[in-house]
Chains A and B, each alone.
Chain A
Amino acid sequence: MSNLFNWEPDRSKYPTVKDNGELDVDLSSHKFTKLWVGPNHPGITGNMAVEITISGDEIVQAKTHVGYLHRGFEKLIERRLFIQGFPTCIRMCVAEPDYNEYILSKAIEDLSGIEIPEMAEWLRTLALEMARLQSLLRTVPGQGGTFSLGLGVQWGMYLRDLILDRFEELTGARIYHMYILPGGVRGLLPDGFKARMEENLKLIDQFVINIKKLMFDNVIFKKRAIGVGVIKKEWVDQFGIVGPNARAVGISRDIRKDYPYLKYQELDFEPPTAKDGDIFARSTVRYQELIQTVDLIRQIMAKMPEKGDIKSPTPNVLHWKIAKGETYIRSESSRGEYGMYYVTDGSDKPRRINLRGPSYNHAMSLLEHMLINANISDVHAIMVSLQTCPPEIER
């Protein structure tokens, strides 16, 4: 138990700590400089700013600032009918909107006791894995991007666009899919979808080989990524670290395995882990996940039925009321535990919805902590390696 409290970083150099616990940072002493990274900076994922205090090239203090794209979605959904929630909530994380749709719809179904048809479960699983795939296609090479290795990013973006093409024909949109809705999903697979998907997956198979040569077998990348941005094992519970960030220190927690939902029980997979907890370890875990996701999509397409109902009957959506109750729905996004706390009060609108995004912990308390003693040039690398998504902090 004692190590739970052992989270203070090494402050042996400077600055000194004052009696009240604050750092003795005197800007007029010319020892320290304040620097803002973001909110408008290509290295920042989304609109977020990190205010760092540096001494030389070394960060002595870091503070995350959010609020640059706060649109109050939780509040907006509180004022809307149940059916109107899903086109709004997807904006809470742009990179993987499908998880928002899923947890919101599932929460509504859970509270009103609706079971969805099997076909819809398979299609939801497929959409969620496709979302993971397109997200990883951006993040895995994106880690190289933070070290100026832009080529992989271009490869990834091209392939991601192909997955978005598949999303477009399945859901009717590229980014904001609005595909999963309370009661089911909004369409079967179009004709020839599986064949086109398979073509794309073959390209990704090739990409997986190429990116390994380009990035993971790259001495520069290794030099920059190994041993930098280390997460210690005991931090996982202290900071609430989830997903690949936790798995990269050897803690194998995956909602898909631990709390199986949708059709994950019928799929064969084992979440990859790594030991070292540095940027390289996290990158490797994501890389393994990318390979695994391709495999999962193949499994899903092989196992899913051809035809079936896509939606269960619901009450008339215009005056759907749900009795007082509360629930929590979680799913494993590419960033980790993605959850929804949903409270109803018997009216036709939710009383409260609260999104639990992994970045809330990763980009705030954890990032602030990890940046201490890091170099300026590592700020983005560490941030991207945590795969932060600012919109889910400020919802």
Chain B
Amino acid sequence: MKDLLERLNTKYSLTDIEYQRDNLVFLTIRKENTIDLVTHLRDYEGFTHFVLLSCVDWIEDGKFQLTYFLNQPERKYDIVVRTMIDRDNAEMVSAHHLWRQITTYQRELREMYGINFPGSPGVDENFILEGWDEIPPMRREFDTKKYSEDTFFPREGRKTHDPASYMKEKLYPTEPTTAKVNKTDE
């Protein structure tokens, strides 16, 4: 595994190499070289099994992290190729020509995160959602709770009490206490 990474590092500039386990390594590469590296791993290093294409929303950095999981079935180790792309107008080079299932992943990411993969077959088709007019729902700023409160209605007559505030109300309503308990009950 170490040799392989050294070989790769001469060709590509890799950063943030982290061993999660002996046979599972995460690394980061610039966006432009990502598909190049993935293709190289598949064609020359025997990473023939594509495990997963995933996305992590680092909203505070304004980035999406695209994560390509590659598995080397002969030698039984995994390389996870990460790349950061801008959150605004998110776009990534399509990899659908490398493995068939990537088409599905890219369709899903297009729908759930709003990342475009130009040229990927059927990338704009609905995958799971139909008639969705909100922002892509897997983005961090999409608030599921608020959405469900706006869309559905709560069961009537439900009311809960915070023990500390309720005890203040009952036992020592006028006495000074800390600000949080002093807040009126919801």
Contact = CB atoms under 8 A, between A and B. Distances in A.
Interface in B67-81: 67, 69, 73, 76, 78, 80
B52 A239 contact: no
Contacts of B127: 66-67
Contact of B144 (A72, A239, A394): A72
Contacts of A67: 126-130
Interface in B101-120: 101, 103-104
Contacts, number: 95
Interface residues of B, number: 36
A394 B137 contact: no
A339 B137 contact: no
A150 to B, nearest CB: 32
Contacts of B130: 67
A219 to B, nearest CB: 35
B81 to A, nearest CB: 12
A354 B43 contact: no
Contacts of B33: none
B24 A328 contact: yes
Main secondary structure of the interface of B (DSSP, over half): mixed
B128 A394 contact: yes
B165 interface: no
Interface residues of A, number: 38
Contact of A240 (B43, B51, B57): B51
A24 to B, nearest CB: 17
Contact of B104 (A70, A72, A364): A364
A76 interface: yes
B16 to A, nearest CB: 11
B56 to A, nearest CB: 4
A34 interface: no
A364 B121 CA distance: 13
Main secondary structure of the interface of A (DSSP, over half): mixed
B26 interface: yes
A312 interface: no
Contacts of A351: 56-57
A328 B69 contact: yes
Nearest to A235: B100
B67 A238 contact: no
Interface string A354-378: 1010001100111001000000000
30 contacts: A7-B100, A66-B127, A66-B128, A67-B127, A70-B128, A72-B144, A75-B144, A76-B144, A79-B144, A237-B99, A239-B99, A239-B101, A240-B100, A259-B23, A326-B56, A328-B52, A341-B52, A341-B67, A343-B56, A351-B57, A352-B54, A352-B56, A354-B52, A354-B54, A360-B101, A361-B100, A364-B104, A365-B104, A366-B100, A394-B128
Given A327-B24, A341-B52, A356-B52, 15 more contacts: A1-B43, A66-B128, A67-B129, A75-B137, A237-B48, A328-B52, A339-B51, A339-B52, A351-B56, A352-B55, A352-B56, A354-B52, A360-B104, A361-B100, A364-B104
Interface of A: 1, 7, 66-67, 70, 72, 74-76, 79, 110, 237-240, 253, 258-259, 325-328, 330, 337, 339, 341, 343, 351-352, 354, 356, 360-361, 364-366, 369, 394
